[in-house]
A and B are shown apart, each in its own frame.
Chain A
Amino acid sequence: MSATETIPAPDTAARRGPWAEVFFSLLRSPTFLVGLGIVLFWVACALFGEHFAPYDPLADDIINALAPPSGEHWFGTDQIGRDVFSRVIVGSRDILTVAPLATLLATVAGTALGLFTGYFKGIVDDIVSRILEAFMAIPVVIVALLAIVALGTSKATVIVVIGLSFAPIIARTVRSAVLAERELDYVAAAQLRHESALHTMFVEILPNVIPPILVETTVRLGYAIFAVATLSFMGFGIQPPSPDWGLSISSNYGMIGGGFWWTVLFDALAIASLVIGVNLVADGVQGALND
């Protein structure tokens, strides 16, 4: 390692070049900017929502239960009189903690798995890839249902279930990128220097496969939000009294036949906007890195 690292200056300069280009092309992409705006809005709500929400999102007020939207309660109140507007604002917090953590777990596990299977190829790769492919065919909802019945409901279970369900997908992307990289001269050079396999994988190859990992991670984040919201709606994710969007819809949708549309519409729109925002960001990142 020491002998080769004596000339780092041109190396880092060469690497900073393309990343700066990616950064500037992101700034020129309207898709990315709109998506980023939406996501940042919800992140701000998650971080500081309590300070600008007009009411306490958990405070009930039975006398004013199920009040339609008005000047006092912009989005109306739910069945025990909680202010829907305040709940929607603060409701971004849990989903924006659980989904990114699940994505992080998927990325770390998937990257490691993809590096190993792509680098070693051969029988191990064949077997592992087959099992992962078979695993990917099982819907996340089913995996989650089983895991949660067996392990009980908690945010940690949701993170682990989604993280492990998404890891094979990231592993597949990383693996195919590694398969191309490992044939290049710098890998052969590292092997000739008798670098360990771990060093070659994580220090030599990994930096060169960051772009596809980045794209896949942003795409997965969109799906993770999808999955977390769905599990909350099913009652298998975030638990009451959290003002989480999916959870609010699940506890209020039984009454929409009575015309109480405001108890679910705004939560649904909030989820929709966040999912679309993340997907726009993913689209922008993909476009910028593929240029």
Chain B
Amino acid sequence: MSLSLVTLFLLSIMVFLGGQVLPGNVGRAILGPFADQRAVDALNHTLGVDRPLLTQYGSWIWNFIQGDMGTSYIFRSPVAPFVLDALVNSMKLAAVAFVLVVPIGILGGVIAALNLNRPLDRIISLGGLSVTVLPEFVTGIILILIFGVWLRWLPISAAWPKDAGFFTQLYYLILPSLPLFLVLFGYIARMARSGMIEALDSDYTRTAVLKGLPWRTVIWRHVLRNALLPTITVIATQTGYLIGGLVVIETLFRYQGIGSLIFTAARGKDFPILEAGILTIGIVYAIATLAADFLYSVLNPRIRLGTDQ
């Protein structure tokens, strides 16, 4: 629990160093090498980057907490609306991927475990493993070619027409969510499979079978509940990974999410957007980790929050 806060703090330091300290003269970077020195100094003063580092960091964090994420160097307007709009879009994409992958991944792992070492298990395990190790843009390109270019079933860009309704948006998000689905499927299925194997092999399962419970009841009541606990943790840790994947996928599919926002900001050296975007991602990650801890303790009566084990 405290760990995600350490991560967040570390991330804020890195963002601050990467965005404000290492690039050197921000005013010079924006105005270019031929600008007048006085103009550069004036801009640095307006941007507040000529103050001491600790003051800059403190006021940056303090303003961020109050909802003031600064002013974009390029758009000359407040950063917050850009970041929040992009975050909503990214959440939509991530939600589609998660809604697809969590049940299917768990189902895949359960089916594999119930068919342990049979061909079906091999296909699910090996298939899941091979797609998991592939970069998202590679699976993305191959999926675009198959479903977008050859079969023409799905649009190859995620930018839906204006005022598109829920189902139209969903239709545009299916293809971009598939590469994320494939990467996550392997992890989730593997965890669900090993959790199932362990639970199937346990004493309480044997007891349940021996006291004559129907197989269906044994699986639902005794095996699944125990088997899926570690899977929840894996799903939560994958949110950090998912965010990295979003940067790539949103760029590939030209989707206006937070990943493509920070990517564009990085290319344009628009530090306020870059910093606010990354810090926002960090906060989302911290919340997801906390939520997973909470869910885990609710589902598992043996573990309560606060006992570190």
Q: A-side interface residues toward B, CB under 8 Å?
A: 130-131, 133-135, 137-143, 145-151, 222, 226, 229-230, 233-236, 246, 249, 253, 256-257, 259, 261, 264-265, 268-269, 271-272, 275-276, 279
B17 close to A150 (CB less than 8 A): yes
Q: A134-B6, A235-B267 are in contact. List 16 more A-B contacts (CB 8 A).
A: A130-B6, A139-B244, A142-B262, A146-B15, A146-B18, A146-B274, A149-B19, A149-B271, A150-B19, A229-B137, A233-B137, A236-B266, A246-B135, A249-B138, A257-B149, A275-B135
B123 in the interface (beta carbon within 8 A): no
A-facing residues in B124-145 (Cβ within 8 Å)? 129-130, 133-138, 141-142, 144-145
A145 close to B266 (CB less than 8 A): yes
B141 close to A138 (CB less than 8 A): no
B130 close to A141 (CB less than 8 A): no
A149 close to B133 (CB less than 8 A): no
CA distance A226 to B148 in the complex (A): 24
Q: B281 to chain A: which residues have CB within 8 Å?
A: 142
Which single residue of chain A is at the shortest CB-CB distance from B269?
A: A149
Residue of B10, B15, B156, B247 touching A135 (CB-CB under 8 A): B10
Which single residue of chain A is at the shortest CB-CB distance from B248?
A: A230
Which single residue of chain B is at the shortest CB-CB distance from A139?
A: B244
Interface residues of B: mostly helix, strand, loop or mixed?
helix
A150 close to B22 (CB less than 8 A): yes
A275 close to B251 (CB less than 8 A): no
Asked whether A234 and B251 contact (CB < 8 A) given A130-B3, A149-B266, the answer is yes
CA distance A213 to B130 in the complex (A): 23
Report the 10 A-B pairs with minimum CB-CB distance, sorted nearest first. Answer: A139-B244, A146-B18, A150-B22, A134-B6, A134-B7, A141-B244, A137-B7, A150-B18, A268-B141, A268-B138
CA distance A25 to B99 in the complex (A): 42
Which single residue of chain B is at the shortest CB-CB distance from A149?
A: B266
Which single residue of chain B is at the shortest CB-CB distance from A141?
A: B244
Q: A257 to chain B: which residues have CB within 8 Å?
A: 148-149, 156-157
CA distance A226 to B137 in the complex (A): 10
CA distance A145 to B11 in the complex (A): 13
Best-buried of A141, A229, A269 by chain B (most CB within 10 Å): A141
Q: A229 to chain B: which residues have CB within 8 Å?
A: 135, 137-138
Which single residue of chain B is at the shortest CB-CB distance from A228?
A: B135
Asked whether A275 and B278 contact (CB < 8 A) given A150-B18, A150-B22, A268-B141, the answer is no
B133 close to A134 (CB less than 8 A): no
Q: How far is the CB of A13 from chain B (nearest CB, A)?
A: 38
Q: A253 to chain B: which residues have CB within 8 Å?
A: 141, 144, 252
A226 close to B251 (CB less than 8 A): no
Q: B142 to chain A: which residues have CB within 8 Å?
A: 265, 268-269, 272
B145 close to A264 (CB less than 8 A): yes
CA distance A133 to B237 in the complex (A): 12
A249 close to B149 (CB less than 8 A): no
Q: A146 to chain B: which residues have CB within 8 Å?
A: 14-15, 18-19, 266, 274, 278
Best-buried of A137, A139, A249, A256 by chain B (most CB within 10 Å): A137
Asked whether A143 and B266 contact (CB < 8 A) given A131-B6, A272-B138, the answer is no
Which single residue of chain A is at the shortest CB-CB distance from B247?
A: A141
CA distance A150 to B237 in the complex (A): 28
Q: B-side interface residues toward A, CB under 8 Å?
A: 3-4, 6-7, 9-11, 14-15, 17-19, 22-23, 129-130, 133-138, 141-142, 144-145, 148-150, 156-157, 237, 240-241, 243-244, 247-248, 251-252, 262-263, 266-267, 269, 271, 274, 278, 281-282, 285, 289
Q: A222 to chain B: which residues have CB within 8 Å?
A: 133
A150 close to B23 (CB less than 8 A): yes
Residue of B137, B237, B282 touching A249 (CB-CB under 8 A): B137
B243 close to A226 (CB less than 8 A): no
Q: How far is the CB of B276 from chain A (nearest CB, A)?
A: 13
Which single residue of chain B is at the shortest CB-CB distance from A283?
A: B129
CA distance A89 to B269 in the complex (A): 35
CA distance A111 to B263 in the complex (A): 33
Q: B266 to chain A: which residues have CB within 8 Å?
A: 145-146, 148-149, 236
Q: B156 to chain A: which residues have CB within 8 Å?
A: 256-257
Q: B7 to chain A: which residues have CB within 8 Å?
A: 134-135, 137-138
B248 close to A233 (CB less than 8 A): yes
Which single residue of chain A is at the shortest CB-CB distance from B8?
A: A134
Residue of A130, A135, A139 touching B243 (CB-CB under 8 A): A139
CA distance A268 to B149 in the complex (A): 15
B141 close to A249 (CB less than 8 A): yes
Q: A269 to chain B: which residues have CB within 8 Å?
A: 142
23 A/B residue pairs, CB under 8 Å, sorted by A: A133-B6, A134-B9, A137-B237, A137-B289, A139-B240, A141-B244, A142-B278, A142-B281, A146-B18, A147-B18, A149-B19, A149-B23, A149-B269, A150-B18, A230-B135, A233-B252, A236-B266, A249-B141, A259-B149, A261-B145, A265-B145, A271-B134, A279-B133
B3 close to A134 (CB less than 8 A): yes
CA distance A34 to B250 in the complex (A): 34
A142 close to B244 (CB less than 8 A): yes
CA distance A147 to B274 in the complex (A): 12
A264 close to B141 (CB less than 8 A): yes
